[in-house]
Structures are given as C-alpha cells and as structure tokens.
Structure 1
Amino acid sequence: NARSLDDVVADELQRLLNNKNAVEVARKNNPKAQFGTNHKFALMTETEFANYVKGSFQQGNSTLRSLPQADLSSNAIKQAATIDWTTGSCMPPVRDQGQCGSCWAFSATGSSEMGHCLVTGQLLVLSEQQVTSCSTNGGSQGCNGGYENYGIDYVAQTGLCLDSAWPYTSGSSGQTGSCNNNCAKKKLSIGNSVSVSGEDALATVLNTQPVSVSVEAGNSVWQNYQGGVVTQCPGAQSDHAVIAVGYDAQSYKVRNSWGASWGESGYIRLERGVGGVGMCNVVADVSYPQLGPTPSTPKPSSPTPKPSSPTPKPSSPTPKPSPSTPTPSPSKSTPKPKTTTPKPTTPAPQPGCGSCYGCYYPDGDECLSDWTQDDCNYYGDLYGTIWCGN
C-alpha cells in the first residue's frame, strides 16, 4: 500500500510538472494573458483534458450541424465600440457542466435564457438537465456531446422547465439521465436558431444579444487560463460550445461552463480582429435564437402580429447593453419564429369556453377577449388557443 501511495504521489507530481511546463509555453505565446496551475484541471494530462473537452461536442458531421446562414449584410447596423452583456440584468450566474459532456446544452440554454430575458425583462433559471436528457435534435447525445444550434431549436419549440423543478444532476453522475416530462414547461419569447459566421457578423449580432459559439478549447491554453487576452490557440478544430457575451476593441468576451473558479470568474477573452475563423475558431459557428416581441404590461392588448421577414420590432423597450444599438433582422431564409407570444393573463371563469366569447387559452384557463378570430386560430397550433366567439 505504501508503494502504491508513493506511485500515486509520483504520478501526480509528474503531471503537475508537465502542466507547469505547458503554462510556461502558454505564457510565452500569449503575453497578454495569465496562466497558472491553481485550478481543477491541474493534474490532467493534455490528452486527458482534450478528451474531456471533446466529449461535449459532436464533430465530423457537417451535414447535421449545417444551418441556413442568415445574411446580415443588408442590415445597416452601427456597431457599438464596446458591448458587455454581463453588466446587465439578463446574465445568470456562471454554471458548471461537471463530468458530463453537455457544453452544448449549457450554451443553448444560456443563450435562450438571456434572449428571453431581453424580450420580457424576466430572467428565468432554466433546466440544462432537460436539454441534456431530452434534446436529441440533429443527433445530440446528452453527455456524449451535441449541437448548440439544435439545442436552441429544442428550447424554442418545446419550452423548458425551471432548474428548481428539474435540477442538473448529470455533472456529478456523468450520465445523460432519462427524459422526464412531468415538470411544467415555460414557453420562451424566442424562435428557432439563426446561424452566421465571421468577425463582422458576430459583432453585429452581439449588439443585439449574447450568442452561442463553438471554439477550440481542448488545449493547454484553455486548461490553464486565468485571465487576460488569448492571442494564440494551439490546434485547429472546434471542440467546445460556449456563449459570446461581448467585445471591446481588442477582444471578444466569452462565457464558459466550467464554473466561476475558472478563468476570469468563468469567462475568457479571445483576441478580436485576427480574420478567418477567429481566435480559437470563435467566429466560425455562431448560433442564436430569434427574439420574439416584448409582451405588454400588465397584459397584451392585442395578439402579436404574425411573423414576417424581417422580424417585427418589439412593442416595448428591450434591455440593451450601453450603448443601445438597433436589432439586426434575419434574412428571409431564416426560419419563422416558433414562439412569439407570452402567456395571456386574463382569467376565464371556468374550464372550456365557459363565458369566454373570444380567444380561449386552455393551458392557462384564460380568456383573451381582445384577440381576433384570425389571430386566435393562427396561434392555435403553438399554444392550443381556441376561438369561442360567434
């Protein structure tokens, strides 16, 4: 036993020494960033860390991953000098995916949460476990990796339970878990995912909302990152899904899912303006949910207009980073938003149509007397609304 313990200690010391050497290389290649070994990945070899990261991300199937690219070239968007969504009220705490390859689910859930909050002003803490266990869109496989863009589509089409109703357990178990549909799902004010790529496109969309991005992270730079701006990324293949939350003149700010003790309180900054696919591939695959209209207060005075191209502007102010900038509209090839209307709030006196002589919303047992028959029928497939008028 003593020898076995000695072997373990010797192995860990060798691992730490190797990682310290990797830190020195990272410092030399990234003079604007800081690196160290005081983190939870310090005793992993580079190969072990790369395998840990790549386990979250489906690779090698561009057909499944491909989405229609939105054309933002016609949008006369004046880009702000700096954007930082983390300073606003729509940024939940950084989370930790743990021992499950669910970065794609965290990226999809996070960008959907933030998008919904920007529309409604309501920050919901939603269930990454539901996305991990239930979203099989495009071949996603829970803890064995998936696609953040298809995760966004799942959230938009299905809705999500609150994290309090279905908490995340895969991080400790390492298992995808079964798809439990018993908790109440909340429909979000977002639509299906939109895909763009390139430095200018990423900056343009970031003027509207945080976005899901794929990056090359299974390397010693990300393993040992502690702060500053990364200016060199070893390797060439994207293997991790995260969320871009802002930029300044020098860098993009990216939110990770490895907990708040990693990096800059859970964030990393990647050099901006390098061209091509960007630093660590950050501009190669950008996905984000279309934003639905802002609900009126205290209740909608009329139903949301049918989606058209471009997407209608919200009817009341949407929280924006400072400075505020116009919202880019997806091109006509962008899928029509799947969710656009919040739950109505006028209660119906009894189940069924009862004395509701307008548009009845069965799931909430609520009556929308000011909705037209045409609008009520239009949203019937999405919300189950029924026309009870003459």
Structure 2
Amino acid sequence: MRSYALRTIAVVGTAACLSLGSATVAAAAPAPNQSARHGLGLRLDQPAAPSRHTGLPVLPSKSASVPTSYSLSQYAISPGDQGQVGSCVAWSTMHSGYGILMNEQGISGSPMAPMYIYAQIAQGDDEGTNGNVALDLADSQGVDTASDYWQGDFDYTTQPDSNERANAIHYKLSGYNTLSTGSGLKSAVQQSISQGMPVSVGLPVHNSFMDLDAQSASDYSYMPGQNDPVAGGHEMAVIAYNSQGVTLENSWGTNWGNSGYVNVSWTFLTRYVDEAYALGKITQS
C-alpha cells in the first residue's frame, strides 16, 4: 500500500479519517461504513501481501508489447449486489472475477457464492477484508456455486457445510498475482487483462462515487473533489481497458452507475488504488 504524508485529521460520520493530500483514508482498523448508501468492505489498514502462488494466464502470454485496448466484457456476468454487507472483496473476486474466468474457460456453474468465502473470513464479524485473504481461500479451497450455497448472498455468520466444501474443491484458482500499484499499475493491468486474467482493485471511495449515474459513469471523467469525504474502502473488478482508462464492474446492483459498471481514467486508477490482484486460471479437479 502506498504511503502518504499525514496532514490533518477529520471526522466523516462516526469514523475518524486521515486527510492525506488528495485522498482521505480511514485511520485505524475501519469496519465497513454501515451508514453508507451501498455496502463497502475493503480494509484500508491492511497491507497487501505478496502472492504466494503465481496465477496461470487464461490466454497465451503476450509479448512485452501489449494491445492498446483489450476487453473481457464478453465473458462478464451481470454485476451482483452485496447489499449492506461489507463483502465487496468477495463479490469482486468470486462473483465478477470468477464469472469471467468460468465463461472464458467454458466451465459451467456460475455465478459463484461470494459468501462461501466471506463467511469464513468474517465469522459473524462484518469488518471487511482484503483481496489476498479471499484469494488465498479460493486458491486452497476453491469456491462454491451460488446454486449450491443455500446460505445466500448476505449471511456472513453461518459457515459452509461439508457438501458445500466438497463442491468448492472443483473450482480452485491456480493462483493470483499481486500487482504493483501507483505508476506501475497501468502496465500490470494491461498485461493481466490481455492474458485473460481479470483484475480486482481496492481503493478508498468518496461519497460522490456512491451517486454516479449512467452518464457520469461512462465518460472516464470521474474524479473526487477536494472536499469530497471518503465513504470507506471498496473493491471492484477491472474487466477491460483502452487508452483512456479501464472499465470496472461494481457490486452495487445494476441500478448504480452505467448498469453496474463505471469507466475511470488511468490517472484515477493509479492515484487511488491501494491493492490489485490478477486472478489466474481455474483448475478443476
């Protein structure tokens, strides 16, 4: 996670936050902001851990020269809705990311069950998580399908049963790659997406992001204002890129943004993203 020079301390709602130059980041161990209009859930206080297993690309590896634009949107499934649960990381990786991978690889069974992963992390305590934590579980256990997971989309207390764990084994990740943030993120995203690997990115989102409509979510122009407070940490999936920026699939349903998607500039992505992971191929047993 990038470091910033500390300047002032402000209060947003009931959570103390640090105003850090152009971005405001929640201070100590922030839980999902339950007063926010949409669920969040990225732990901004946790550093990204190095990848333990390199994810296998879905498509043949590209040369050093990647395409100027590339899209995995033809494989994407409809954006999910996490409700008010702080499970954005699980939705970004297990719903959006896995949905793309399964369609790319011709694997039936999607959508997957984000709560299979998040319930094991939360254990009834809805404090959010980070991408590496969720992906480590998908790497070691796999993830259950939504049709098999009877606990539904919002139960973060009830743990998976033995039948669900047995089914999840059939949908393990080959691994994942932890990507550089900051100036190196653009090339890392391009390399990953062009190899068929969806990317999950985590960042602090501002209040104005909650209200994006179809127009403002489409033109790559969104940038929070100077006095726009941070609502909390949030994770979304990168599904495409071009010269202007990237397309993100969110988990706030299809009534948000442009039918659940938003286009943001490369400047926005490299300025605000604090963690990024490329999901490797699914290995079926």
CA displacement at 1:189 relative to structure 2? 5.5
**1:203 lines up with 2:190 in the alignment:** yes
Q: Is the 8 A contact 2:44 2:204 kept in 1?
A: no
1:272-313 CA distances to partner (integer Å, 9 max, x unpaired)?
2x28x625x24x421122225xxxxxxxxxxxxxxxxxxxxx
Please tell me the residue identity of whatever aligns with 1:214.
G
State the distance in 1 between where 2:34 and 2:168 align: 39
* Bigger RCO of structures 1 and 2 (CA < 8 A, at least 6 apart): 2
Q: TM-score scaled by structure 1?
A: 0.52
1:106 alignment partner, one of 91, 94, 99 = 91
Q: Is the 8 A contact 1:94 1:257 kept in 2?
A: yes
| Structure 2 residue matching 1:245: 3-state secondary structure | strand
CA displacement at 1:210 relative to structure 2? 1.4
Matching residue of 2:277: 287
- Two-structure CA RMSD over aligned residues (Å): 3.1
Please tell me the residue identity of whatever aligns with 2:204.
E
**1:144-293 counterparts in 2 under 5 A?**
144-167=127-150, 169-171=152-154, 175-181=155-161, 182-183=163-164, 184-188=167-171, 190-197=173-180, 198-208=185-195, 209-227=197-215, 228=218, 229-234=220-225, 239-272=233-266, 274=267, 278=270, 281-282=272-273, 284-291=274-281
Matching residue of 2:105: 119
State the distance in 2 between where 1:68 and 1:141 align: 27
Larger-Rg structure? 1
State the distance in 2 between where 1:47 and 1:177 align: 17
Q: Is the 8 A contact 2:140 2:172 kept in 1?
A: no
Q: Percent identity?
A: 16
State the distance in 2 between where 1:153 and 1:233 align: 32
Segments of 5+ residues of structure 1 without an aligned counterpart are: 1-45, 293-339, 344-390
Matching residue of 2:117: 131
State the distance in 1 between where 2:34 and 2:275 align: 24
| Structure 2 residue matching 1:185: 3-state secondary structure | helix
Q: Is the 8 A contact 1:112 1:190 kept in 2?
A: no
Please tell me the residue identity of whatever aligns with 1:210.
P
Matching residue of 2:82: 97
Matched positions, count: 231
CA displacement at 1:154 relative to structure 2? 0.7
**1:143 lines up with 2:126 in the alignment:** yes
| Structure 2 residue matching 1:163: 3-state secondary structure | coil
Please tell me the residue identity of whatever aligns with 1:263.
G
| Structure 1 residue matching 2:139: 3-state secondary structure | helix
* Compared CA separation, residues 253 and 230, structure 1 to 2 (3 A): same
| Structure 1 residue matching 2:127: 3-state secondary structure | coil
State the distance in 1 between where 2:245 and 2:83 align: 27
2:43 alignment partner, one of 53, 58, 68 = 58
Q: TM-score scaled by structure 2?
A: 0.70
Q: Is the 8 A contact 2:144 2:171 kept in 1?
A: no
CA displacement at 1:49 relative to structure 2? 2.7
Segments of 5+ residues of structure 2 without an aligned counterpart are: 1-32, 55-60
CA displacement at 1:119 relative to structure 2? 3.3
**1:291-370 counterparts in 2 under 5 A?**
291=281, 340=283, 342-343=284-285
* Compared CA separation, residues 206 and 103, structure 1 to 2 (3 A): same
State the distance in 2 between where 1:170 and 1:143 align: 14
State the distance in 2 between where 1:152 and 1:249 align: 29
Please tell me the residue identity of whatever aligns with 2:76.
M
**1:80 lines up with 2:67 in the alignment:** yes
